[in-house]
Amino acid sequence: MNSGVVSTRSVKALEPGSPARVRGWVYRHRDLGKKVFIVLRDSEGILQLVADPAFTPREYVEAAREATIESSIIAEGVVARDPRAPGGAELRLRKLEIVGLAEDFPIKGGEGIDYLLDNRHLWIRSRKLTAVWRIRHTALKAFREFFEARGFWEVSPPMLTQAAVEGGATLFKVDFFGRPAYLTQSSQFYLEALIFSLEKVWTLAPSFRAERSRTRRHLYEYWHLEAEEAWAGMEEEMRLVEELVAYTTRRILEERLEELSLLKRDTEMLEASRKPGYPRIRYEEAIRRLREKGLSIEYGDDIGADEERLLTEDYDTPFFITHFPLELKSFYMKPDPQNPREALAFDLLAPEGIGEIVGGSERQEDYNALLQQIKDRGLNPEDYKWYLDLRRYGSVRHSGFGLGVDRYIMWVAGLDHIRDSIPFPRFRDRIYP
């Protein structure tokens, strides 16, 4: 009885009186003695099923009665309109088969967060999280559409690496047959190597950060969308970033309104962000604003999560902060020729308190200057031998960026915590399930 199955969503489009066969999981169950109401959940949504001796053979009324929460079932019936049913339609059952009878489901509602995280493999079935996975799918699809339309090549860099991209403090060390190796923090250096043949490259891959920060926006393992472009300066790169974010946000508004509404996301904010042309402020200006807001912060201080949250109060779209002091940023960035104390670097911050979702820069393309920058940071040039080589054979101006996919999803979906942007989050002390 597997053929001719339709989704809960398409049942609602059928004429009343049409026969339909559906399958899925028991989401709600109400036994009224004579009648039994089941709300069926499948990947497309939910649908009310009614078993009633008036139109359902007795054995199937009994099967409906026995179908516990989260049991998998296949059901056949006739479509009827009912304004009280979710979505305005229901299926009056003629047949019901229990495929997998569920034991007492451990999640009933009202459980604490640690319990839910221990049961994440079951909790991910929830309608709320399912809506997030669907939004995430559309974001990933839009990223790919965007880069494809712009002639970027998708590449696959390694996750096991030898040296730090973003500083030694947050490296996860692994045992590489007795030698130390690390899980990658960023694919940037490999993308830089690939621009010398492909010119414009991008990748979507996990990045790993052993940051002991217990914030609502840090994961140990996150999905990193990175791109690198030969011949491009910081300006062009910022334009690429805002067009990417605007395009993806627009696609999500086009395709995932139902999910956003299920999540009670206020879409006004997102509407404002669907066009590029996001505001830009220099680091210097950001510091001035923070001081105006009463913070005792000075030029040269880091702009952390708390400061970022304050700055987001001034905007209702993503916005850039540019031209950070060199010491605050990574060794590979190019100093601004106009003001060599500042880097040609930018962050894109999402509004509503989220903060940094993208970090990017123009790269130092000169061999001697890069060697000096490595030494200035007390790093060992030996560790960056192949990276330096890229500046020895036909070096060109180039720029790139990395977008934290999970943080972007957190913003778009209006989530309180980054853990709900990804099915199996790695954060705090969690590596199960």
Query: Footprint of Mg ion on this chain (CB under 5 A)?
Result: 359
Q: How far is the CB of 221 from ligand 4AD (least distance, A)?
A: 8
Q: How far is the CB of 214 from ligand 4AD (least distance, A)?
A: 11
DSSP state at residue 168: G
Of 217 and 419, the one with the shorter C-beta distance to Mg ion is 217
Q: Which does 166 bind (CB under 5 to 8 A by kind): ligand 4AD, Mg ion, none?
A: ligand 4AD
**Alpha carbon distance, N-terminus to C-terminus of the chain:** 34
Q: Which does 401 bind (CB under 5 to 8 A by kind): ligand 4AD, Mg ion, none?
A: ligand 4AD
CA nearest to 204, candidates 354, 404, 360, 400:
404
Q: How far is the CB of 345 from Mg ion (least distance, A)?
A: 9
> What is the chain's Cα-based Rg?
26
CA nearest to 430, candidates 153, 186, 174, 116:
116
Q: How far is the CB of 185 from ligand 4AD (least distance, A)?
A: 6
Please identify the residue of the shown chain whose CB is closest to the bound ligand 4AD.
404
Of 70 and 166, the one with the shorter C-beta distance to ligand 4AD is 166
User: 220-236 as b/e, with b when 16 or more CB fall inside 10 Å?
Assistant: bbbbbbbbbbbebebee
CA-to-CA dists, residue 285 to 278, 322, 340, 426, angstroms = 16, 10, 18, 35
Q: How far is the CB of 328 from ligand 4AD (least distance, A)?
A: 11
CA nearest to 228, candidates 203, 257, 255:
203
Are 207 and 184 a contacting pair, CB within 8 Å? yes
Q: How far is the CB of 316 from ligand 4AD (least distance, A)?
A: 19
Of 20 and 333, the one with the shorter C-beta distance to ligand 4AD is 333
Q: Mention every residue, 6+ apart, whose C-beta is less than 8 A from residue 352.
A: 269, 312, 411, 414
CA nearest to 257, candidates 249, 158, 157:
249
Contact set with ligand 4AD (CB under 6 A): 165-166, 186, 188, 209, 211, 218-219, 222, 224, 226, 356-360, 400-402, 404, 406-407
Please identify the residue of the shown chain whose CB is closest to the bound Mg ion.
359
Q: Which does 165 bind (CB under 5 to 8 A by kind): ligand 4AD, Mg ion, none?
A: ligand 4AD
Of 71 and 186, the one with the shorter C-beta distance to ligand 4AD is 186
